[in-house]
Chains A and B, each alone.
Chain A
Amino acid sequence: MSRFWTPRTWIILGGLAFGVLAALMTAWGNPANMGICVACFYRDIAGGLGLHRAGVVQYLRPEIMGFALGAFISSFAFGEFRARGGSSPLVRFMLGAFLMIGALVFLGCPIRALLRLAGGDLNGITALAGVVAGAVIGIFFLRRGFNLGHSTKMPPVVGWIMPVAMLGILLLAISAPGFIFSSEKGPGAMHAAIWISILVGLFVGFLAQRTRMCFVGGWRDLLMVRDTYLFSGIAAFFIGAIVCNYALGNFASGFYHWGFVGQPVAHDNHLWNFLGMLLVGLTATLLGGCPLRQTILAGEGDTDAAVTVLGLLVGAAFAHNFLLASSPKGTGAFGPVAVIVGLAFCLVVGFLMREKVK
């Protein structure tokens, strides 16, 4: 019995459950191939808070707050909540912002790349190739000694700030006061019932905290130390999502189809899909985790991850305020330039932030 219930069993079961839920969320009301997309959902939250005014992508996605709060509860239950911080917060903020810009050039985070592929969108392959290429560059820097530095222990109250802020945003999502923006059409208007989103968010947050699931770390560990633990979560997620899509009849009904063209909330500019996600893979590798993992860590009291989350929100706001984000029509006017600036930023910090190991 105990032989069977290894950590790997749990991450595979967790990945499967998450993949199935992500596909189901679409059936329950979330946008097509966007049952769960951490980048898209932060973008919608940035819109809901009025940080950008792109009318079609504004909604306080309760899944995100659920992730953070699920991780918060889980870390308390298992004695893993630790307030900490001070490991290059400004660099993390910038990396978070550029990560988001790269994701919005592709239109999805590493999770949605898998989900899009599981829904027949072959642009997901280009995106995953970008994530892997970015991780390879990130590993190059890690092997050279790239390091964002030590974090130190902080008074517990500091670790509570982000979870409490997340609770506040969740309360705003529930009470929907007039100053919160909410899309009337477009992807932002498509969402599951709020209680479903909250429950799924809490459940996935709990799962992800326990299993350490990470959608960039899986590729990184596979390539860097031949460790397949986190990757098994990625693979299980993909299998869960694709099996669920077939079981729901999404392909038979024509809701999804295999191909590059005419995919939901997507474009097929291969170069920028690849480079956008290369920026995501690279920033996430330098940061030590994908947007989901950053959200989970923020819930566990990691204030550096909390700062990264703020970077994600600001990056999303910039992306929509300055025509960086793509749309189904193609890349935004300045998206490619922003990706190049982001890559340049990563190269500079990658080369210069080295800690000499004694």
Chain B
Amino acid sequence: MIEVDVRGLSCPIPVLRTKKAIEENPNEPITVLVESAVSKENVSRLAQSKGYSVKVEQVPDGYKLQISPSGE
């Protein structure tokens, strides 16, 4: 399971890290840990634009995003 932990990092680093993870691991589900609502929105938008589905779960110190390529 690939995990990207970008808690505490501010815009636009979370998006860039997620993009890199997607490019390095095509067709694999990725877990992204973000801290702010803004990062959650930005990473979700990126994932959706790449055709990934996004599942958001609120965790104590932010959000856990499960992004996976469609069809899985």
Binding site for B on A (CB under 8 A): 7, 78, 80, 82, 84, 87, 142-143, 147-148, 150-153, 212, 217, 220-221, 224-227, 229, 288-289, 302, 304, 357
Contacts and interface: CB of A to CB of B under 8 A. Distances in A.
A318 B55 CA distance: 48
Nearest to B46: A225
29 contacts: A7-B41, A80-B36, A82-B35, A82-B36, A84-B8, A87-B8, A147-B9, A148-B10, A150-B7, A150-B8, A150-B9, A212-B41, A217-B11, A221-B12, A221-B15, A224-B12, A225-B12, A225-B15, A225-B16, A225-B19, A225-B49, A226-B49, A227-B45, A227-B46, A227-B49, A288-B11, A289-B11, A302-B10, A357-B20
B60 to A, nearest CB: 11
B19 A152 contact: no
The 7 closest A-B pairs by CB, nearest first: A150-B8, A288-B11, A288-B10, A151-B8, A80-B37, A212-B38, A147-B13
Given A142-B16, A225-B19, A87 B36 contact: no
A71 to B, nearest CB: 12
Contact of A87 (B10, B15, B16, B17): B10
Contacts of B41: 7, 212
A227 B49 CA distance: 8
A226 B50 CA distance: 11
Interface string B39-69: 0010001100100000000000100000000
Contact of A220 (B12, B45, B49): B12
Contacts of B45: 227, 229
A288 B13 CA distance: 9
A330 B7 CA distance: 45
A294 B38 CA distance: 14
A7 B38 CA distance: 12
Given A142-B13, A227-B45, 6 more contacts: A84-B8, A150-B8, A151-B9, A217-B12, A227-B49, A288-B10
A128 B11 CA distance: 22
A30 to B, nearest CB: 30
B19 A151 contact: no
A224 B9 CA distance: 18
Given A225-B46, A227-B49, A143 B16 contact: yes
- Kindly name the residue among B10, B13, B19, B41 whose own CB sees the greatest number of chain A CB atoms within 10 A: B10
B47 to A, nearest CB: 11
- Kindly name the residue among B7, B13, B15, B45 whose own CB sees the greatest number of chain A CB atoms within 10 A: B13
Given A225-B15, A225-B46, A152 B36 contact: no
